[in-house]
Each structure stands twice: as C-alpha cells, then as structure tokens.
Structure 1
Amino acid sequence: MSKKDRENDSIKPEGDVTLIDTDYQIGQDNLDYQIGPFSFDIHNRVFLISAIAVVLFVAITLLFKSQAEPVFTSTRNWLTSNLDWFFMLATNIFVILALVLIISPLGRVRIGGTEANPDFSYISWFAMLFAAGMGIGLMFYGVSEPLTHFTESFNGTAAAPLGGAEGDAAGARRLGMAATIYHWGLHPWATYAILALGLAIFSFNKGLPLTVRSIFYPILGERVWGWPGHIIDILAVLATLFGLATSLGFGASQASAGMNYLFNTPDGVGMQVFLVIGITIIALVSVMAGLDAGVKRLSEVNLALAALLMLFVIIVGPTLAIFTGFFDNIISYIKALPALSNPVGRTDTSYMHGWTTFYWAWWISWSPFVGMFIARVSRGRTVREFLIAVLLVPTLACILWMTVFGGTGITQYLGGFTDAATAALPVQLFEMLSELPIAQITSLIGIILVVVFFVTSSDSGSLVIDTIAAGGKVNAPTPQRVFWCTFEGLVAIVLMLGGGLVGLQAMAVSTGFPFAIVMLLSCIALVKGLLEEPRKKKGA
C-alpha cells in the first residue's frame, strides 16, 4: 500500500511532515463487507476480539449476577489498595513530562508540520477543550466531593485528606477544596494531554492512522501493524468502553435520584436501568445523525446549559465567597499539591484509596476518548501552545466549577444548612440547589444536564471506540457506531445490576491498570517521535 493510500485511510497531514515509509498498513487487516442494507468496515482482530470480550462480559455478569458484586468489590479494593503507588507514579510522570516538553526545544514542534495552520480560532479551540473532558463527573461530584472532603476534614475522621483540620472551618475548607481540585486539575488533564499529543503528532505529522497503536511506531516499528499493535488498540477500546460505562452509571444514579427528589418517582436500580435504556436510545439517534448534526449540537446545548446554571449559582449564591474562593482555592491547591501527589508514607489511606486511586484509573480509561477528541481539533498548534492550553484552560474551568458548586455547599453547611452534607452523593447537588431561589427549575435543569451529558458521552464515546476498532478511520459506517453505543449502555446496566457504583468503579480501575502501562510506554514513543520532527517556527 502506498503512502498516498495510507493518507486517505486516516487524517491527511499538512505542511512539512515526515511520512513513515512502510509497506504494511493497518487498513490491510480491515474487513469491508455488506449485510443487507448495512455496510461494515472493521479491523477484524481489534473489532472481533473487543466485541467478543464485551459480549461475554455482559452475558457472564447477567448469568451470575449474585456472585458478581463480591467479585467487583474485592477487585476494586485490591487494586486501589495495592496499586495506589503505581497509579500515582504514572500520573506524576504525565505531569512532569508535559511540563518538561513545554520548556524544552521540543515545544516548538508544530502539530501537522511546520506550515500547518490552526483549524480553529483560539476562542473555538478553548471552548472545545473546556467541554472535552467534562462530563457527568462534574455534575455528580461538583457539590458532593468538596463538601465530603470539607466535612471529613472539619470533623477529623479517618477519611480526611492529609490528616484533616479538625475544628478549623477555614483550614478544612482550604483542604477540602485543594483535595478536590487535585482530582480535577493538572494530573487528569496531563493524562489526557500526553495521549492526545501522541495521537496528533503521529497522525498529522507522520501520516499514520488516528489510533493508539500509531504512537508506538518508534518503539515497535513494523510490528505495530501486528499483534503488539492489536493488543494496544484492544486495551484502548476496552478501557474507553468501561470508563464510559462508569460515567453512564453515575449519570443514571444521579438522574434517578434527582427525579425522585423532584417528582417522587421510584428510585433504585430498576429506574436507573430504565434511564440507561431510554438515554441510550437518544444517544443512538444522535449517533445516526452524525458528528455535526448530532454530537456537535448536543454539546453546544450542554455547554450553554452548564454555563447558565453556574452563572445562576454565582449570582444568587454566596457571590463574594465564590469570587474570593476561586483565587484562594488555586493557592491552596498549589500548596497542597506536593503532599497530595506523594504516595510514600501517607496515613490518609481512606482518601487516597477511596478517591485518588479510583480517579486516576478512571481518567486513564477515559484518555483515549478525550485524547482523540483533543487531537482532532488541535492541528496547527505548537506542542508548547497545545500543552499550556490543554493543562491550564480546562483546569481553571474545573476549579471555577468546583468553587461555585462545592464552595456554595460548604458555605451553606457553615451557615447551618447540613442537609446536603448528610444526603446521598447523587442527591447532594439537588439539596444544595434547594436552598437557592427557583429550586424546582434549577434542579430540573440539573437533571437535564445530567441526561445531556449522558447522551454526549455515549455518542462521542461510540465515535472514538469505532475509530479505534476500524483501524483509525474517522468516517466508518454508522451501524458500527450503533453497535458500540448499544453495548456501552448494556455494560453500564450489567455493572449496576451486578455491583452498583462499586461494580462501575471496579471495572474502571481494572481496565485503567493495563492501559496505564500502555500510556507510560507511549511517553517514550512520544519523545522519540518529537525528536525526529523539525522545530522551526511557522513563517521562520
């Protein structure tokens, strides 16, 4: 297969690029065939092995539902307790590598070649970075996580981060917000950025397919088109699928709890399963509508609603505390960052295992999904420009979100309203909103946001999984995306039936672990690839 043929199978590079000269291409392993009115274009090994693994998982979990919960619980507990150091070391490496690349001469490399022009303006690009990795988690944890860490710290419990600040309201507030921002700041975004940069460089600059295996060409050479590459892409598919299923499960539990809170509808696994089915059907409609007509429009609606709700809380909530808290929280986060990111000698194991280890595995499992999206919208940016934007813009947006929602919940607690702090996690957002004006309307908007986040995560995730399973082709046939969207919903359902939130967390951690190894190796491949790139500035 020629270079020209290879370019047509992936995203075409621009400018001064270094096409890898190989006679074997991932597309040669693809199956292109027709079943009735449905066409398929799949990478036979990656698609079939991933699909069979997912189908078997769904079937076995449903058949042995009563035995699944203890298995999920023990798996999650063992992984988070014994591999905490590994996950924390991995994410620390991603942050350090990103910072080193920013200040090094490699930061001058331009994605797409030395003459490439950005596809989007700064404003559009920043908006997409803002929306890329923010999903159901922000709705689920926006109030509950800061409030939980604050109350644990204030009360001096065993689950308090860094030993807590018993009886010290101001100290507990600073610690609670710092411990929350740690999970939504530089570390997760560096995880996304490193994989996204690798995908962008090897697709736009090297002319390789937009799939995870392409990053490993400097290490594996021609073997990247064989079984080593197949295994990498299979791990990427499974990590993304179970990471998304975890988010969908959280979204279903919060939507169900919100509907029960507002309308007294039944709340439980049955309602959550019903919601997953209904919203997966909506996601299927969006998937069939395509990227521009479906995913893009829903994402725009989602972003507008989220901004509207946040602005409302700023205006009618503790406005002064929110504005001053934003800057105080940044300072608190920076001060606590060395201690929070150090796994050695920690006594706050409940916080570290229950929160940090799970989060890092979850973010790692999401990285192919978010990374591929970020890569596709970042052509024309330098490595330095790319990393600064991907690290700082979404981090600041997450700090603002947590300050607005979590800070308001903490202020209410200190003012004597403790209902949000004592409520179940999925309900805490609605309890916080109940103390503000027009609570019925804002709570309904909150439920709509959860649902739309649910839909956009599902349909966007289906596009990414299908791109990987189709050998890096970005316009694979619609029936394949329908297949993955359907099974995302099915996996979320069986995990909820088999173990609830613990089951969801267990699979996120289980798939995040092997993919963390893949990502650590990708750091070496990324540096090797960047060293081969010309570093002159555009127009120089």
Structure 2
Amino acid sequence: MEKAKVGVVFYISVAILVLAVLVGIFAPDALENMTSNAQSFISTRFGWYYLIVVSLFVLVCLYIIVSPYGKIKLGKPDDKPEYNMATWFAMLFSAGMGIGLVFWGAAEPVYHYATNSPTAEVGTDEAIKEAMRFTFFHWGIHAWGIYAIIALCLAYFKFRRDARGTVSSTLNTIMNTEGTVGKIIDIIAVTATVSGVATTLGFGAVQINGGISFMTNINNGFWTQFVIIVVVTILFLLSASTGLDKGIRILSNTNMVIASFLFVFVLIFGPTLYSLNIFTDTLGKYVQTLPAMSFRLAPLTDEARDWIDNWTIFYWAWWIAWSPFVGTFIARVSKGRTLRQFTAGVLFVPSLVGFLWFSVFGGASILLESEGTAAISELATEEALFGVFEHYPFGIIMSILAIGLIGTFFITSADSATFVLGMQTSDGSLNPTKKVKFIWGILLSATAIILLYSGGLQALENTMIVAAFPFSVIILLMILALFKALKEEKSNVKAEKEHKKTNSSKG
C-alpha cells in the first residue's frame, strides 16, 4: 500500500479555506458582497465562454467514443474492472448528482412552467414543453461531459502511465508541473472541489430542513440546518473511516435502492402515461434542439439573458466546480475499462436516468400545478418534492424515505469528497490517511455552514461560480495534454509494429 504524503498543497488549501471560514464568521456581509460581485462580473462578462467550453467538452467526449483511441484501456492491457457494471453506475451516479436530482427533480420543471419560462408564456402547454426541454439540457450530457473529461484524464494518466493521482500530473505532457505551477494547479482544483461540494451539501441540508419543516412545526432556518449538517458530518466521518470498498460502496448501492423505490412509487401512483409521454416527447426535442440550446445567449434581450445567467451559466459553473471531485472519484473506480466504454457509460447512462427522473417527478409536479390541484410552484424549492408526495397515498412515509435518501446521498457525497480531497492533497495517494480525510470532512461542513450563514443558497451559488472559472482553463489544458499523450501512444504502437515487421522480414 502506497504511503500518503501530505505537503504544501494540503497546508495552503487548508489555510485558504480556514481564512474563508473566519471571514464568513466575523464578516458575513462582506463575504456575501464579495462573492456576489465576483459572480455577477463572471456571469456577465464570460457567459459566452462557459457556453463554448462546456460544449467543447461534450464534442471531445463524442470524438473519443468514435475514434480509434476508444480501444485504449484505462490501465494496463490485462487489467480488469474492479467493480461490476451495476455497482460502478451506482457509485458514479451517487457521487455525481444524487442530492441535486432529489432537490430539483420536482422543483425545477414546475418553476420553469409556472413562474419563469425560458422562452414561452408561463402556464401554457408550450411552457410545459420548454420547462422539460431545458431541464433535460441542464442535467444531460453537458454535465456528464464535464465529469467524463476530468475522470478520463485522471484515470488515463494514473492507471496507464503510472502518474500521481493529482490534477497537475495530467499536464506533464505539455508543461513541467513538478514545481510551483503544479502546486498552484492542485490548489485551484482543491478550492473548486470544496466550493462545489459545499454547495451541494448546503442544498442537502436545506432540503432535509425543508422536508422536516413541511411535515412538522420545526423552523426552516439556519440553526436547524446547522444541526443537520453537524449530525450528518458525524455520520459521514464514521463512513469515511471504513474506506472506499465498505462505506461508499454500501451507501451507493443503498442510495440506488431507495431512489429506485421512490421513482417506481411515483411512476405507478402518479400520472404514469403522462410522465412517459413527457419523457419521449422531450427526449426527441432535446436531441433536435441541442446545438441551439448549447449556444443560446440571448444578447439582445435582458430578461432572457438574466434567465440564462441564473440557470444555464449557474449549472455549467456548478458542474465545473463539482468536476474535480466527481472526476477524481469516477477515475478511482474505473480502472480496467476502455476509453470508449468509460466515456459512453459516463456520458449517456446517467443522463438517461436523470431524464427519466425529471419526467416522473417533474411531470407529476407540473400536472398537479396545471390541473389546479396544488400550487407546487409557490412552495419553497426545497419543499416541492414533499408537496408532491402530499397528494399521493402513503405521502408521509414517502417524504420520510425521501429525507432518508437525501441524508444517504449527503453522506455518500461528503464521504467521497473527503477521499478525493485527501487524495488530491496527499500527492495523489489512493490511500489518504484518516486524519487527512477527517480534516477535509470538517472543513467541508464548516464551509457549507458559513456560506449558508452569510447568505443562504445564493452565497453558495455565487462562491461556486467564482471558483469554477479558473478551473475551466485547467480542464482545457488537460484535454490538450490527453490528446498529446494519446497521439504519442499511437505513434509508439505504430513504430513497434513496423519494428516487428522489419525484424520478421529479416528473419
């Protein structure tokens, strides 16, 4: 077992985050204003950049699937996958989008339909179609394309070329990252990871609070969320102490069982045919209009541009900030798969599952709203799911199960994040120490708490968009480094074949 080494990246990253936490404690208004101004500047000035680079990531993934490079294995020629396909999908899905899907599943489509449609008049049939189409867009192959690129680069260099499991090590083919530059790159990756994970943990705490508040008289506020985060922190630190093959694997499979049960329940007791029709129709429109949505910026309409900034740019930044964590984790559990199998699996399977999820839960919330049965759009975002369950049999039981699911997703995400952050700050070690993982676990929770304290969900979102910007540049460099390495490998294989051919002709 390789020995984990803690160095400069760990100490500087911890210092930066401790400083941010202290500012949030003693000057919360200053932290909120600072992150808000930075977020506004980036969204306004660089919205075009986000749309182009994320679309580029998707195109790179599609090229790898169809190119000869797809035959290359993430590992040595005789390496086999460590996990079966079902467990692999469960682990990457739980890490990738678990809390987000539960948080937004019923809320986002009905919000677009009833409150703020991207292109249609709210409350109309056209608004239903637009709500579903853009929800698919935000949670589809663009999100998973970002994850796939990061994971592919990390897994290729780690398992194929025996590089360290750090972000900086993926750039060795185009620059020297053994010194200060490499450490800066890894620090940026770590801070982006913390902001993305802290945002998601904040969403989880807010929704658990929302569910409890919806069913009881317990206050929906910061101190309740504080207690929730503290309790879950203790649970995920206990899980982190058991290691990857026990805690995370078991929790990931548990997540999928509970999520599948809730999905089937709503599919059966909800508007089954309506949801399936919505899924099929929206999938077709999503495929047809994907290029137009990918580059839609609305430069001449302020209202439409605000919608894009608040939704599309927010999501692209969220996925980028979340990607060092998800990418590192997916890379860690993907050894032995080919580039083609890996990229196609990461890009399409979770996207399709997400589309089904939104069609069932979003379809249910929209139908309740459109028929006048319930005003789901008037509920707080974190309460929308529970508002849907209220109108079905066994609603209380389903709400309790949903809170449990959010909790296990919360634990899985935080548990996985402590492993990834430990790996990134321990010179790429696949076995970071428990002490390092515990430190990161506490800092993750503290960051989520302070951001909620200083400005609620908006502060979380602002911080994430700011942190994602510099890391997007690193992803572009990772793509260049990957293709240079793949080209070198192809040239070496060709030269080896010609050498063997020459020797055989001489013989």
**When the two structures are superposed, what TM-score results if normalisation uses the length of structure 1?**
0.87
Match of 1:57 in 2: 20
Give the drift of 1:166: 5.2
**1:498-518 deviations in Å (ceiling 9; x for gaps):** 111111001111111111111
**In 1, distance between residues paired with 2:436 and 2:51?**
35
* Compared CA separation, residues 248 and 524, structure 1 to 2 (3 A): same
Query: What is the aligned counterpart of 1:280 among 221, 233, 247?
Result: 233
Q: CA–CA distance in 2 between the matches of 1:205 and 1:361? A: 30
Once residues 242 and 92 of structure 1 are traced to their aligned partners in structure 2, the CA distance between those partners, rounded to angstroms, is 23
Could you say which residue in structure 1 is the equivalent of 2:411? 455
Q: Which residue of 2 aligns with 1:496?
A: 452
Residues 267-323 of structure 1 show CA distances to partners (whole Å, capped at 9, x for unaligned) of: 111111111111111111111222233222222222211111111001100011122
Would the alpha carbon gap of residues 335 and 166 (structure 1) be closer, same or farther in structure 2, given more than 3 Å must change? farther
Task: Indicate the residue corresponding to 1:18 in structure 2.
Answer: none
1:112: Cα distance to partner?
1.0
Decide whether the 8 Å contact of 1:136 with 1:247 is kept in 2: yes
Which residue of the partner structure matches residue 313 of structure 1? 266
Question: Which residue in the other structure is 1:78 paired with?
Answer: 41
Report if aligned partners of 1:47, 1:469 keep a CA contact under 8 Å in 2.
Answer: yes
CA distance in 1, matches of 2:123, 2:375: 20
One-letter code aligned to 2:484: K
Aligned mates of 1:519, 1:135 — CA distance in 2: 23
Deviation digits for residues 346-377 of structure 1 (CA, Å, limit 9, x no counterpart): 43212210011111111111111111122122
Residues of 2 paired with 1:298 and 1:122: CA distance? Answer: 16
Identity of aligned residues (%): 38
CA contact (8 A) 1:65 1:498 kept: yes
| Comparing 248-257 and 377-386, the one that deviates more | 377-386
1:425 corresponds, among 360, 381, 385, to 381
Aligned letter for 2:221?
A: G
Q: 1:293 to 1:410 in 2, by over 3 A?
A: same
1:408-419 map, 5 Å: 408-419=364-375
User: Which deviates the most, 198-207 or 343-352?
Assistant: 343-352
Query: For the Cα contact (< 8 Å) 2:50–2:313, is it kept in 1?
Result: yes
Contact 1:175 1:332 in 2 (8 A): no
In structure 2, the partner of 1:191 is 146
Equivalent in the alignment of 1:114 = 77
Matched, 1:405 2:361: yes
CA contact (8 A) 1:72 1:502 kept: no
Which letter does structure 2 place at the counterpart of 1:327?
Answer: T
In structure 2, the residue corresponding to 1:139 is in which secondary structure?
Answer: helix
Residue correspondence of structure 1 range 246-261 to structure 2 within 5 A? 246-261=199-214
Instruction: Tell me if the contact between 1:181 and 1:399 (Cα under 8 Å) persists in the aligned partners.
Output: yes
Q: List aligned pairs for 1:105-254, cutoff 5 A.
A: 105-152=68-115, 159-161=116-118, 163-165=119-121, 168-169=124-125, 171-220=126-175, 223-254=176-207
Q: Which residue of 2 aligns with 1:15?
A: none
Counting only pairs closer than 5 Å after superposition, residues 290-309 of structure 1 correspond to structure 2 as 290-309=243-262
Q: Structure 1 110/534 Cα, relative in aligned 2: closer, same or farther at 3 Å?
A: farther
**Letter aligned with residue 342 of structure 1:** F
> Are 1:435 and 2:391 matched, yes or no?
yes
Structure 1 contact 76–502 (Cα < 8 Å) conserved: no
Distance 1:293 1:385, change over 3 A: closer
Indicate if the aligned counterparts of 1:109 and 1:534 stay in contact, CA closer than 8 A.
no
Question: Letter of the aligned partner of 2:139 in structure 1?
Answer: W
Is the CA contact 2:51–2:294 (under 8 Å) kept in the aligned structure 1? yes
1:381-437 Cα offsets, whole Å, 9 max, x none, are 221221111111010011011111111111111221242111111111111111111
Residues 146 and 323, structure 2, Cα contact 8 Å, conserved in 1: yes
**Cα distance in structure 1, aligned partners of 2:151 and 2:447:** 26
- Greater shift after overlay, 341-350 or 415-424? 341-350
Residue 333 of structure 1 corresponds to 286
- Aligned-pair distance for 1:135? 2.1
- CA distance in 2 between partners of 1:503 and 1:238 (Å): 16
Q: Offset at 1:165?
A: 4.3
Structure 2 counterpart of 1:283, which letter? F
Amino acid at match of 1:187: H
CA distance in 2, matches of 1:440, 1:80: 40
Cα distance in 1 between the residues matched to 2:103 and 2:113: 17
Hey, what's the Cα distance between the residues in 2 that align with 1:64 and 1:121? 49
CA distance in 2 between counterparts of 1:446 and 1:320 reads 23
1:479 aligns with 2:435: yes
Deviations 1:49-95 (A, max 9, x none): 10100111111121112333333333322222222111111101101
When the two structures are aligned, how many residues end up with a matched partner? Answer: 491
Checking the alignment, whether the CA contact within 8 Å between 1:177 and 1:333 is kept in structure 2 is no
Asked whether the 8 Å contact 1:149–1:160 carries over to 2, the reply is yes
Query: RMSD over aligned Cα, in angstroms?
Result: 1.9
Separation of aligned partners in 2, 1:427 and 1:344: 30
Amino acid corresponding to residue 466 of structure 1 in structure 2: G
Contact 2:94 2:412 in 1 (8 A): no
Q: Is the 8 A contact 1:84 1:343 kept in 2?
A: no
Could you say what secondary structure the match of 1:69 adopts? helix
Partner of 1:236, secondary structure, is helix
Aligned to 1:19: none
Unaligned runs of 5+ in 1: 1-7, 10-31, 33-40, 153-158
Match of 2:216 in 1: 263
The SS at the match of 1:458 is helix
Cα distance, 1:166–1:335 mapped onto 2, change above 3 Å: farther
How far apart in 2 are the matches of 1:191 and 1:166? 31
In 1, the alpha carbon distance for the partners of 2:37 and 2:346 equals 35
SS at match of 1:429: helix
Alignment of 1:45 onto 2:16: no
Aligned mates of 1:119, 1:274 — CA distance in 2:
37
> Partners of 1:407 and 1:167 in 2: how far apart?
14
Could you tell me which amino acid in structure 2 is paired with residue 83 of structure 1? F
